[in-house]
Structure 1
Amino acid sequence: MIPRPMRLDNNFQSQWCHMIRDSISLAHVFQTCARTGQLTRGKQLHAQLICSGYQLCIFVSNHLLNMYAKSGDMVFARNMFDTMPYRNLVSWTALISGLSQNGRFAEALITFSQMRNTGEKPSQFAFSNVIQSSASLGSLEIGMQLHSLSIKTGFNDELFVGSNLANMYSKCGALAYACQIFSEMPYKDQVSWTAMIDGYSKNGNFVEALLAFKKMIHEGVSIDQFVFCSTLGACGALKDSTFGKSLHSWIVKSGFEWETYVGNALTDMYSKAGDMESAFCVLGTDSGLRNVVSYTSLIDGFVETEQIDKALSIFVDLQRQGIEPNEFTFSSLVKACASQAALEQGTQLHAQVIKTHFDKDPFVSSILVDMYGKCGLIDCSVQVFNEIRNPTGIAWNSLLGVFAQHGLGQKTITTFNQMILKGIEPNEITFISLLIGCSHAGFVEQGLDYFYSMEKTYSVEPRQEHYSCIIDLLGRAGRLKEAEDFINSMPFEPNTFGWCSFLAACRTHSDKERGELAAEKLMRLEPENSGIHVLLSNIYATAGQWEDVRSIRKIMRNGKVKKLPGYSWIDIGNKTHVFGVEDWSHPQKREIYEKLENLFTRIQEAGYVPYTGSIPFNMEESMKERMLHHHSERIAVAFALISMPAGKPIIVKKNIRVCVDCHSAMKFISKVEGRKIIVRDNSRFHHFVDGSCSCGDYW
């Protein structure tokens, strides 16, 4: 490929006529074009040289090659290199550096290998760039080969080679090698320290990153903005705002406070630490720090602290400032809508995602799949998934999670099989969803087979969460002896979720002895968890041991353990309506009460019989029936029936598990009203349609 000659202005034409006789001047012009970004002017001169028949010497050719490489025009750089009659070490190094610095890492490694095959010995700069390429590709094997070669050629002690080796090992997760190289370096400047701190942070060794920073201070090494950014990242991950504030002071003293990257890192650190006031103050009134990165950090912080309204307010301000949101902004906001099951806001965000073309982003689309699932709309989740051109593992896991949370065990298994056929490798999250799906559907044997195949077939080591899923799987099926044996064979003690699952199963299947064991273990782990006392109290109530029930309540009073109040909420229009048990505070309480009474009469006529065994109190049956009739989810459904248009599905969210009697009542209400009712409790979804539930009465 030859650059086309272009018309030059008179001054430049005159200068060119003189420079054509002077190789040094030509080289200087190409060097200046590379440094100042004047690629077009450099191409013009190159074209004129070709048209005039000027024979480029190796000295000028190398500067021309370097200009193309540094300007990012690797097509011209490669063509220039391939047509050079003679190449030396400078030529090879310029091309390798250009390929590496322009993200063409594999080509850089191939070119380095070709250089070696010609017998040319690499320079320290060539080494540095190919080591960077292996780090960017995450190729530890190639990086180690380059390390070995650098030792043979004596470049391993050179500053930039050593720094890049330490950085490569850090990025590839081989921190022991990184530390060894770092300690053996004859001298350390900012580049080496930055590589170490950044490597620790990116590999999750955040404490070590802070210790490295402290050592750097102790050795009197000057700190630059990159070191501050990496260290702030470690502080944010540890939620250590105390150390972060000390860093903030150093940053102010060093004069880096108004650097955009540092400002973004400070905002992100405070946001991740939950100190939203400080995060907001960092931005102040300086518009230079208000960019999409800082705004997204604020949004993340408000989302993590469950201040969804403030997160949405920041998003509105971002748009008002004319700043375009990016994929991370949308991901965070959609994630917030998913956690709150805020369908109205979620669909509005989806519309903006499509408008800004971020629906093609694999991470955003995956979170949209999750959002619709958590809002109860499985069909929308499937539709979004089907519109993803090449679903990644994240997207497949999102769909698996949706089916699992809705208790659709067979669809979870089918989706897993499709995922494997597509060549997507499952990970820890995949198997959590798969095991939950099997557990909620009663697929005990399939779940056990998947658990034991994790490490053997898929090289995924089971973690505590997977063991807890098996406890839940066996417990729900009433196989409590097997669950107990499984617990005793585990390589570690079950976590809170595992013991809670076992205790809940003991309550469902009225196993007092094992329930007491589970409650004892849980009280050691979480003494202030009221759910433990409530479940144990329910077990005693079912057994008619009212004295033990009273004893449990006394323990709760003396220990100031408060029972988590059950409540339900429903979104109608742009407003969320929250209801508690026996809650008559709503402005439309009279209409709601009348609807409830009407429903009670109609479902009784349809065959509903109250199950008072879910009330752990020693009182008259009529009082128990009244309490059941006024549970929060029933009040929410009654309100929805008088407020929403006919035919629209009713979606109710609960903070605790739906009780057996309410589950039965919802089936009858869906039948007599001819409405689809979706209830999301703290465990899963129930879809009630025409007198049946999607769970098949197994949950």
Structure 2
Amino acid sequence: MKLQILSKHMIRDSTTLAHVIQTYAQIRQLNKGKQLHAQLICAGHPLCTFLSNHLLSMYAKCGQLDYALKLFDTMPQRNLVSWTAMISGFSQNWEFSEAVKTFCRMRIAGESPNQFAFSSVIRAAVSLGSADLGKQIHCIALKCGFSYELFVGSNLADMYSKCGVMVDACTVFEEMPCKDEVSWTAMIDGYAKNGKYEEALLSYKKMVYEDIDIDQHLLSSALGACVALEYYSFGKSIHSIVVKLGFESATFVGNALIDMYSKTGDMESALNVFCFDVECRNVVSYTSLIDGYVETDQIEKALSVFVDLRRQGIEPNEFTFSSLIKACAEQAALEQGTQLHAQIVKFNFDRDPFISSVLVDMYGKCGLLDHSIGVFDEIENPTDIAWNSLLSVFAQHGLGKEVINFFDRMIHRGVKPNAITFVSLLNGCSHTGLVEEGLNYFHSMEKNYGVTPKSEHYSCVIDLLGRAGRLKEAEEFINSMPFEPNAFGWCSFLGACRILGDKERGKIAAEQLTRLEPENSGAHVLLSNIYAKERQWDDVRSVRKMMRDANYWSHPQHTQIYEKLDSLLDQIKEAGYVPYTDSIPLDMDDTMKAKLLHRHSERIAIAFALISMPIGKPIIVKKNIRVCVDCHSAIKFISKVVGRKIIVRDNSRFHHFVDGLCSCGDYWFHGLALGYMSPLAVSICTNDELEGLGGK
């Protein structure tokens, strides 16, 4: 009955049929569309090109390209609409190569493309990442007179910008007689994604000046450019436009604002944007906020946001985890780091090469070298990031030969080293006394590997020579450098001068370091020691007063900590410890000098750990300057008398103390950078909480 009705009233009316097919396409009623097509075939009514084109479009919009292609191949006649429907269908369904092939077939068939065909094939070229193909299509568009058409021009500009050819993108854009918000947005987004942030913001200003409508995509791109250029005041002005246009509830605009405020350290504003619309939060929103707290050293708040993310049922991504793991690495927060590692395994991110690299770094910075190696060995195809993480860990732990061994393995695997690789390589050589090897690597960087040495590499060489006691060579190297040494370079040279008693060179180095970093407590300490050696007591008192004023500490277990500290002193003296009082060149007796040494920060941290941590658990201590000679000796004795493994992470490397021995083999003494220091001027932590025990 339905077939009869269709035959009498609909088959003769192509316009009505086309409208029905179009409706089915719009509401994605594929089955009804197929039934209608079948009825037309059964009715024996030949399909005209007009109806076939509508059926082609319906099948393409519903993702049924096989049906569309079969119909297309059986059409006795095809027109421009037929070809365009197929090209658009392939492009919309991610069959980009087929879209290009169909475009070529259309040209061979002698059909001239219209703006819709050009736009679809240009989008296909973008998705294929082929600028050469895009240029060929551009030439055809020029020949056909469509290159300046608004729709085609916008797609061409977008294609060039996404392929990184911004010169051609600009040319197309400037030659367009008419520009709309789509073309402007394509250009601004292209500039931002290709690192041309100044141009992106300049185009944004022009667009505003010409009173072109601004959408949320454009605002997100402009905010991203502000972050990259650190134009935060301009970013705040864009925020006011966001509010004015009512786009605060747009998720990706809100995310861009959170990212901007987080990068400035303005976490209050970031949190205000985050809390504006609860419904619009997603994993990017949470991750941006977490990253902001991490960058401002508020790891507890970062972890709290992570907990809230999980409570909301939002799954973290690789960026969420990598940000938190990096924070745990910098804070040596082993307990939190291992818990996050468990979450990473749960979410199947443990095979992600970037997250694995961050885990290698985290375990290394927490002193667990075996864990770092274990994570690295699980990486199927280590990237340069993973190799660099492992090399850095070996260097921090003073394992120079291992650094060289794994560097050779890295090269053998065909992984190209970069600037970061050579920092680890040079540091590893420096901490192990491999001077000639280190110098050879430095001189081969550019020649053999195409890596231009930067200030950090020159500083590593200063450290390499200084640790080996080759002060004259280090001085000559400094004088031959193409730029002034950075703070690390002067600090390394300063330490070598201190150990070898070269007060003239040391004084110059201390003054240079103080000039570069006036707040560097280590520089003040050594400068004070140099003044003391020269018996310039007024200068000594001035420097010491400045340090005392900057450092005050208290702790609720203050009494118990010092009782444990005194007990430890008695124990290690019985075991043979003798204070190295020569490291304090002040005019006082040895008893007072020993008392000062006895209360150095790392010993206070160890005493705290011994009264608060389970027996047998390794103690991890972090400080922001290098360990002094006397503390190094004392901790060796402490590790023996208490039977505990003690890992000290200073600003240069790790020292693993076990049963009276240190992993550095005592070579480290040649690289001592700083004399002694008040415990209150350093950041201390063990793998349990030591909050409040020390300041930065």
Could you tell me the TM-score, scaled by structure 1's length?
A: 0.83
* 1:370 corresponds to 2:361: yes
Q: Bigger CA drift: 510-519 or 645-654?
A: 510-519
2:542 equivalent in structure 1: 554
8 Å contact from structure 2 (residues 3, 39) kept in 1: no
Please list, as runs of the form range in 1=range in 2, the aligned pairs for 1:223-262 lying within 5 A after superposition: 223-262=214-253
**Bigger shift: 592-601 or 256-265?**
592-601
Between 670-679 and 42-51, report the one with greater CA deviation: 42-51
For residues 297-351 of structure 1, the C-alpha deviation after alignment (integer angstroms, 9 at most, x for no partner) is 2111111111111112222222222333222222222222222111111122222
- Is the Cα contact below 8 Å between 2:160 and 2:166 reproduced in 1? yes
Alpha-carbon separation, structure 1, partners of 2:463 and 2:69: 60
SS of aligned partner of 1:359? coil
Aligned equivalent of 1:645: 614
The answer to whether the 8 Å contact 2:91/2:120 transfers is yes
1:99–1:273 CA distance, 2 compared to 1 (3 A): farther
Name the CA distance, whole Å, in 2 between partners of 1:140 and 1:431: 35
Is 1:34–1:66's contact at 8 Å kept on the other side of the alignment? yes
Gaps of 5+ in 1: 1-9, 566-579
In the alignment, structure 2 segments of 5+ residues that lack a partner are 669-696
Among 559, 573, 577, the alignment partner of 1:589 is 559
Q: Distance in 2 between matches of 1:12 and 1:378?
A: 78
| Distance in 2 separating the partners of 1:473 and 1:274 | 36
Which residue among 595, 608, 615 is the counterpart of 1:626? 595
Aligned 8 A contact 2:430 2:467 in 1: yes
Matched ranges for 1:450-461 at <5 A: 450-461=441-452
Q: Is the 8 A contact 2:522 2:625 kept in 1?
A: no
Aligned to 2:634, which of 641, 644, 665? 665
Kindly indicate whether residue 500 of structure 2 is the aligned counterpart of residue 500 of structure 1. Answer: no
Residues 139, 674 of structure 1: alpha-carbon distance in 2 compared, 3 angstrom cutoff: farther
Q: Measure how far apart 1:224 and its partner are.
A: 0.9
Give yes or no for contact 1:610–1:661 (8 Å, CA) kept in 2: yes
Q: Give the structure, 1 or 2, with the largest relative contact order (CA under 8 Å, sep 6 or more).
A: 2
* Post-superposition offset of 1:38: 4.0
- Using the alignment, how far apart are the partners of 2:49 and 2:410 within structure 1? 54
Q: Is contact 1:667–1:690 with CA below 8 Å preserved after alignment?
A: yes
Distance 1:75 1:443 in 2: 66
- Sequence identity of aligned pairs in percent? 68
Which amino acid is 2:205 matched to? K
- Matches of 2:269 and 2:368, distance apart in 1: 38
Q: Per the alignment, do residues 311 and 142 of structure 1 end up closer, same or farther by CA in structure 2, a change over 3 Å counting?
A: same
Give the alignment partner of residue 611 of structure 1, picking from 572, 580, 594: 580
Listed one character per residue, the Cα deviations across residues 364-400 of structure 1 (whole Å, up to 9, x for unaligned) are 3332222222222122222222333333333333223
Residue 379 in structure 1 maps to residue 370 in structure 2:
yes
Give how far 1:275 is off.
Answer: 1.8
The one-letter amino acid of 2:630's match is D
Q: Distance in 2 between matches of 1:471 and 1:117?
A: 68
Equivalent residues of 1:400, 1:434 under 8 A apart: yes
SS at match of 2:496: helix
1:322 aligned to 2:322?
no
How far apart are residue 678 of structure 1 and its match?
Answer: 0.8
Q: CA 1:641/1:206 → structure 2, altered by over 3 Å: closer, same or farther?
A: same
Partners of 2:379 and 2:69 lie apart in 1 by 36
- Which is worse superposed, 93-102 or 184-193? 93-102
Partner of 1:360: 351
Residues 146, 587 of structure 1: alpha-carbon distance in 2 compared, 3 angstrom cutoff? same
8 A contact 2:7–2:43 mirrored in 1: no
Q: 1:408 aligns with which of 394, 399, 416?
A: 399
CA distance in 2, matches of 1:119, 1:506: 82
Q: State how far apart, in whole Å, the 2-side matches of 1:458 and 1:606 are.
A: 51
In 2: Cα distance, 1:256 partner to 1:599 partner: 63
Q: Which shifted more, 144-153 or 271-280?
A: 144-153
Corresponding position: 1:689 with 2:689: no
| Alignment partners' CA distance in 2, 1:372 and 1:639 | 23
Give 1:478 shift. 2.9
Match of 1:545 among 519, 534, 554: 534
Amino acid at match of 1:554: S
CA distance in 1 between counterparts of 2:416 and 2:643 reads 43
3-state DSSP of counterpart to 1:222: coil
Q: Distance in 2 between matches of 1:401 and 1:209?
A: 37
Taking a change above 3 Å as real, the CA distance of residues 598 and 190 of structure 1, as seen in their structure-2 partners, is: same
Task: State the shift of 1:198 in Å.
Answer: 1.8
Q: What amino acid sits opposite 1:599 in the alignment?
A: L
Q: How does 1:457-536 map to 2 (within 5 A)?
A: 457-536=448-527
Q: Which moved more, 1:82-91 or 1:427-436?
A: 82-91
Q: 1:300 and 1:117, CA in 2 relative to 1: closer, same or farther beyond 3 A?
A: farther
Does 1:264 find its partner at 2:255?
yes
Residues 534 and 563, structure 1, Cα contact 8 Å, conserved in 2: no
Q: Which moved more, 1:113-122 or 1:65-74?
A: 113-122
Tell whether 2:284 aligns with 1:296: no
Q: CA deviation at 1:677?
A: 0.9
Q: Deviations over 1:409-440 (max 9, x none)?
A: 22223333333333333333333333333333
Query: Aligned to 1:678, what secondary structure does the other structure show?
Result: strand
- Specify whether residues 262 and 584 from structure 1 end up closer, same or farther in structure 2 by C-alpha distance, changes over 3 A only: closer
- The answer to whether the Cα contact below 8 Å between 1:533 and 1:552 also exists between their aligned partners in 2 is no
C-alpha change, 1:521 and 1:157, in structure 2 (3 Å) is farther
Amino acid at match of 1:546: R
C-alpha deviation, 1:142, in angstroms: 5.2
* Greater Cα offset, 525-534 or 255-264: 525-534
**The one of 199, 204, 212 aligned to 1:208:** 199
For residues 449 and 104 of structure 1, the distance between their equivalents in structure 2, rounded to whole angstroms, comes to 52
After TM superposition, the structure 1 = structure 2 runs for residues 59-458 of structure 1, keeping only pairs within 5 Å, are: 63-71=54-62, 94=85, 97-98=88-89, 100-101=91-92, 123-129=114-120, 131-132=122-123, 135=126, 143=134, 147=138, 150-151=141-142, 154-284=145-275, 286-458=277-449
User: Is residue 238–residue 273 contact of structure 1 (8 Å, CA) maintained in 2?
Assistant: no
Question: Closer, same or farther in 2 for the Cα pair 1:695/1:314, shift >3 Å?
Answer: same
Mean Cα deviation higher: 111-120 or 413-422: 111-120
- SS of residue in 1 equivalent to 2:211: coil
Q: 1:361 corresponds to which letter in structure 2? A: D
CA-CA distance at 1:227 after TM superposition: 0.7
Change (3 A) 1:75 1:409: farther
The TM-score normalised by the length of structure 2 is 0.84
Mark the CA change 1:174 to 1:608 in structure 2 (over 3 Å): closer, same or farther.
farther
CA distance in 1, matches of 2:383, 2:113: 39
Matched residues in 2 for 1:555 and 1:595: separation?
31
3-state secondary structure, aligned to 2:195: coil
Partner amino acid for 1:344? Answer: E
SS at match of 2:350: helix
**1:465-504 deviations in Å (ceiling 9; x for gaps):** 3333333333333333333343344443333333333333
Whether contact under 8 Å (2:528, 2:543) holds in the other structure is no
Secondary structure class of the residue paired with 1:546: coil
Count of matched residue positions in the alignment of Structure 1 and Structure 2: 668
1:231 deviation in Å?
Answer: 0.9
Higher alpha-carbon deviation: 600-609 or 18-27: 18-27
* Cross-structure match for 1:679: 648
Q: 1:349 to 1:555 in 2, by over 3 A?
A: closer
Give the conservation status (yes or no) of the 8 Å contact 1:510–1:539. no
Which range moves more in the overlay, 628-637 or 287-296? 287-296
Distance 2:40 2:336 in 1: 62
Could you tell me how far apart the structure 2 residues matched to 1:484 and 1:474 are?
Answer: 9
Q: CA separation in 1, counterparts of 2:591 and 2:346?
A: 56
Larger mean CA deviation between 415-424 and 78-87 belongs to: 78-87
Q: For the residues of structure 2 that align with 1:438 and 1:13, how far apart are their CA atoms?
A: 90
Deviation for aligned residue 1:257: 2.3
Q: Would the aligned equivalents of 1:376 and 1:685 in 2 still touch at CA under 8 Å? A: yes
